[in-house]
Amino acid sequence: MKWLFILLLVSFACETKRNSPPVPEIVEIPDSAHPKQVITIKARAIDPDGDYVSIRFDFGDGNISDYSEWVRSGSLVLFEKAYVAPGEYYVSVQARDFEGNHSLWSSGKIIRIE
């Protein structure tokens, strides 16, 4: 019985903290733009654990950006993009934290290039 108590005590003491992935969101994107017009897309990621985060964009045209520099949780990250062809593009973002956790892709927003 004494060993069972010690085993339970050790297992509770060794419980590791679970690190949660960041939650990304697009903060601002134009509704529309012209081909070859440079636009700015703003996004951020909130990390429940307060870890530094890095963000990447899926521009909806077959291109995914590299991850941004590390920023504090909740800080804005700006990317510039110029679409070449007219159409509607579904833009979303993904984030990772300094502990290596990756988020799912965010709900996206549509931009019309006309």
pLDDT at 9: 47
Number of domains in the chain: 1
Concatenated DSSP letters of 53-93: EEEEEE-SSS-BPPP---B-TT--EEEEEE--S-EEEEEEE
Domain that holds residue 68: 20-113
- Whichever domain contains 98, its CATH number is 2.60.40.10
Map residue 94 onto helix, strand or coil.
Answer: strand
Q: pTM above the 0.75 mark?
A: yes
Residue 12 in domain: no
CB-hemisphere CA count at 13 Å for 19? 15
Per-residue pLDDT of the chain (114 residues; tens, 9 = 90+): 555 444 444 455 455 568 899 999 999 999 999 999 999 999 999 999 999 999 999 999 999 999 999 999 999 999 999 999 999 999 999 999 999 999 999 999 999 999
Map residue 107 onto helix, strand or coil.
Answer: coil
Q: Which of 113, 99, 109 minimizes the C-alpha distance to 52?
A: 99
pLDDT at 2: 58
Residue with tokens 């050790």: 10
